[in-house]
Amino acid sequence: MISWKTLRTLCLVLLLIPVVHLVYLVSRDTVATLNSSPDAWAAEIDAYARQDRASKLPERPVVVVGGRRVKLWSGLEDMLSPVPVLMRGLGDATVDDLIYNYERLIGFYRPGAVVLLPSASEFHIRANKSAEDLASGIEELVELNAYHADDSRFYVITPLKAPLYASEASTVEETTRLLNDWAAAQDHVEILDANRLLVRPDGRPNPAYYRPDGINLNEHGYLRLSVLLQSALDAQMATLNKPKS
């Protein structure tokens, strides 16, 4: 018969396993974020490759790329069904990392559309970009995709304002302006301004749509993001299906 002390110890160990696993994942991602090499996310890309080999890949999927914010984005596949969706988030990867890993992360899937949700680390820690730097990097990624898949559409979600990084608001706004100016001359690109759905009347990010960390969206924030993307995709489909006069 198992003693009460042994049983209590066993229960404590079982309760701690998820906590230890979470600490491990956070520590691993933190180390990778501080590593400026684009190979920092190789293990995650290899994991996607193993997943792909074990399943039948959809034709012309919507491929959603970015960092942790993409990894935390749940429910989008159901909302966009029957359109196939592949979520391909990498730690806290930046646009530079996505460009470096383009073939394995995006091009391999021959996407019908690509959606970019910029990482929270673009303006600090890993990249420290200016508005001009980020806009230029996004343009390079879009042009790379156009070269490999010229019949796919590219949706760029604007960098998000975050309660924790209030000082970045002006940089986010400038990046958004630069992207809109550039995309105005691009037939295959659409800029989706998510901040207008996530801020208060005074323009500051609404904490009601963010997790306690003040960086990442909660389920209410992601729902708004999902509806924004769904509306853009539906509008594009309506345009394609419109009878020609």
Measured distance CA(231)–CA(233) in Å, rounded: 6
- pLDDT, tens digit (0-9, with 9 covering 90-100), for 142-173: 999 999 998 999 999 999 999 999 999 999 99
What is residue 16's predicted lDDT score, i.e. its pLDDT? 56
More confident: 225 or 243: 225
Nearest alpha-carbon partner for 206 in 224, 226, 230, 232:
224
CATH (residue range 62-235): 3.40.50.1110
Measured distance CA(136)–CA(48) in Å, rounded: 27
For residue 21, pLDDT beyond 50:
no
Measured distance CA(37)–CA(137) in Å, rounded: 16
What is residue 244's predicted lDDT score, i.e. its pLDDT? 57
For residue 20, pLDDT beyond 50:
no
Tell me what the mean pLDDT of segment 32-43 comes to. 74
- Place 239 in a pLDDT band, splitting at 50, 70 and 90: confident
Domains in the chain: boundaries: 62-235
Q: Which amino acid is at 93?
A: A
For residue 48, pLDDT beyond 60:
yes
Rounded to two decimals, the pTM is 0.84
What is residue 26's predicted lDDT score, i.e. its pLDDT? 46
More confident: 228 or 35: 228
What is residue 1's predicted lDDT score, i.e. its pLDDT? 55
